[in-house]
Amino acid sequence: MFDLLALFVLGAPDSGGLVAGEVEVVAEGFQFTEGPVWLPSEGLIFSDIPADTIYRADKSVFRQPSGQSNGLIVDARGRLIACEHRNRRVTRTEKDGTVTVLADRFEGKRFNSPNDAVAAADGAVYFTDPPYGLEGGLKGPNAELDFCGVFRVDASGEVRALARDFKKPNGIALSPDGKTLYVADTEGGHVRAFDVAEDGSLRNDRVFFKVFSPDGMAVDARGNVWTTGGKAVTVVSPEGEQLEQIEFPHIPANCAFGDADGMTLYVTARTTVYKVRTGVGGKWEVGSEKWEAGSGKREVGGMSTHVAHNFHLRWTVARGPS
């Protein structure tokens, strides 16, 4: 039982104070936690895959059943997007609570088990599709695709396969300017990076960073990639240099920034959810709302909008330390 945990950080000398607090337990006693995301109206929510439930931080039920949801994100209009493991689809929850299926098939064949996603500023959603939720994997009786891909579904509903050569694609994230897509290959032991073309296709495939069993990830305002892997969250600069590594008592599966100022990292780690305050600042904007992380400054033009303070949205990057 932990109330407050010692923080183990291995960092580069010039890492710029990325971590500003100690690791704390948010909630525990779950089966397998995943998909943390911050909702302005709810606070933190996250998936418990085997429990077929999305929980709030106080352990109350947000949604049940959840289709064994895995990754959860919020799009640029503040709508919840879920990768539903069991239902083999990606869905969006509308403002009135109805659920819209964004994608459940590619070329007439059902997906394996969508795992994680990231929303682009233009309304497109990129997502990974490993076979973790399929009995027997790609060779099992329910498999319809013969590859583990990275997909993009645009605002019109068109689904494209952007990469087909991953072993086990998992966590996925965009750079602050939306021009670089990062994808973890858990079995490959690395995070790959791609340039995002104007039409949303991917170019210049390269290994961005090697890390043991990478899983979910988040990108901060400076463009640093915070990726789970092994028993730690490793922070990597946009140039691929390791800046810090934060160890946890349980193996982390995913992470996301939250709180009203967007400067707390929430980490799902097996049966437990943790949090740690960070020193990352920056600015982002969605629609008519602008926010400067850490400053409390907020500007709203025109209609008031409710926007999730996470790092999957469109950013204006702050230069230099915050």
With CA atoms as reference, report the closest residue to 123 among 303, 289, 287, 300.
287
- Determine the topology of domain 8-316 in CATH: Neuraminidase (2.120.10)
Using an 8 Å Cβ cutoff, are 185 and 192 in contact? yes
pLDDT digits (tens, 9 = 90+) for 280-290: 853 344 333 44
For residue 167, the number of C-alpha atoms closer than 13 Å in the C-beta half-sphere is: 12
In the chain, pLDDT over 70 holds for what percent of residues?
82
pLDDT digits (tens, 9 = 90+) for 28-74: 999 999 999 999 889 999 999 999 999 999 999 999 999 999 999 99
Taking residues 174-183, what's their average pLDDT?
A: 96
Task: Report residue 306 as tokens.
Answer: 């409710």
- CA–CA distance, 171 with 146 (Å, rounded to integer): 20
Using an 8 Å Cβ cutoff, are 38 and 72 in contact? no
Give pLDDT, residue 224: 96
Task: Report residue 123 as tokens.
Answer: 């309304």
pLDDT digits (tens, 9 = 90+) for 186-228: 999 999 999 999 999 999 999 999 999 999 999 999 999 999 9
Give pLDDT, residue 260: 87
Give pLDDT, residue 16: 64
- Give the distance from CA 256 to its chain's centroid: 6
Give pLDDT, residue 304: 25
Residue 236 CA: distances (Å) to CA of 71, 81, 218, 273, 311: 21, 26, 11, 22, 15
Using an 8 Å Cβ cutoff, are 82 and 72 in contact? yes
Give pLDDT, residue 57: 98
Whether residue 8 is predicted with pLDDT greater than 60 in this model: the reply is no
Taking residues 227-235, what's their average pLDDT?
A: 96
Taking residues 115-121, what's their average pLDDT?
A: 96
Whether residue 292 is predicted with pLDDT greater than 70 in this model: the reply is no
Taking residues 150-177, what's their average pLDDT?
A: 97
Give pLDDT, residue 298: 41
Mean pLDDT over the full length of the chain: 86
Give pLDDT, residue 288: 37
Whether residue 125 is predicted with pLDDT greater than 60 in this model: the reply is yes
Give pLDDT, residue 134: 93
Give pLDDT, residue 285: 41
pLDDT digits (tens, 9 = 90+) for 46-59: 999 999 999 999 99
